[in-house]
Structures are given as structure tokens and as C-alpha cells.
Homo-oligomer: A and B are copies of this chain.
């Protein structure tokens, strides 16, 4: 990267939901942004934590612990949360949100284990801007 990237401009450059764009890489990690609305799919990353920062709107993340108990964390704009590796989770945003994620390059959006992937979910390791 030779010039700074504006998150506002980057977010304005695409409309697809649940389809992350890679805005920069940091060693062998990617910084991704996504627009989301509605419900994602339950999935688990066995080998990596996953960082979320809400840039706009509100995001809920349903989490399932080892005893299969569910809880939901609610993130407003400017809130961040790291989902630990091995924890099943399902991001949701009834009203829509823009989010930033940080995770190892090559991490699949639907994780290593997941429910059936609905049509509106893009199973990807991220697209270039």
C-alpha cells in the first residue's frame, strides 16, 4: 500500500452484503470490511480468533459455548469484540451495519464448520477492493 485508504470510500465502492473486501494486509493477516444485513450462518473457526469492529450501524453476534448455551453480544458503532477460536457464532444485523474484521489471510468467512450456507452468504477468503 502506498497511499492511505479511506474507509468511507472503500465502503462506497461495493454494495454486496456478507461479502468482505480486503482493504490491507498486515504480515499474514488481512483487514477486511463488509456490509451486512439480516442473519449470517452459524459457523466456527477452529484455529483462529476473529476480530470485529462496528464502523456503522449495529451488529449482534450470537455465541454458543461449549455447553451449547447461547448468548448474544450487541455491538454499536465503535464497539469491538473478538470471538475466540472454537466458539460457534452467528453475526446478525436486522438494521444493517458496516464492519471491520482482522484475521489470518486465507480464513474462510464460513469457518471450518458451519450450517448449510444460504444463498445470500458469500463463502470466500475475501475479495480485493
Name A50's closest neighbour in chain B (CB-CB): B26
Interface residue? A5 (CB, 8 A): yes
Interface residue? A122 (CB, 8 A): no
When distances are taken between beta carbons in the complex, the residues of chain B under 8 Å from A3 are: 73, 81
Interface residue? A102 (CB, 8 A): yes
Query: 8 Å CB contacts to B: which residues of A16-43?
Result: 23-27, 29, 31
User: Smallest Cβ distance from A100 to chain B, in angstroms?
Assistant: 8
Number of interface residues of A (CB under 8 A): 34
Q: Do A82 and B7 contact each other (CB < 8 Å), given the known contacts A31-B51, A31-B102, A102-B31?
A: no
User: Smallest Cβ distance from A80 to chain B, in angstroms?
Assistant: 5
Residues of A within 8 A of B (CB): 1, 3-8, 23-27, 29, 31, 48-51, 53, 73-76, 78-82, 84-85, 100, 102-104
13 more A-B contacts (CB under 8 A) besides A27-B104, A31-B51, A102-B102?
A: A1-B81, A4-B80, A5-B80, A5-B81, A7-B53, A24-B82, A26-B49, A26-B51, A26-B103, A27-B48, A27-B49, A27-B85, A31-B80
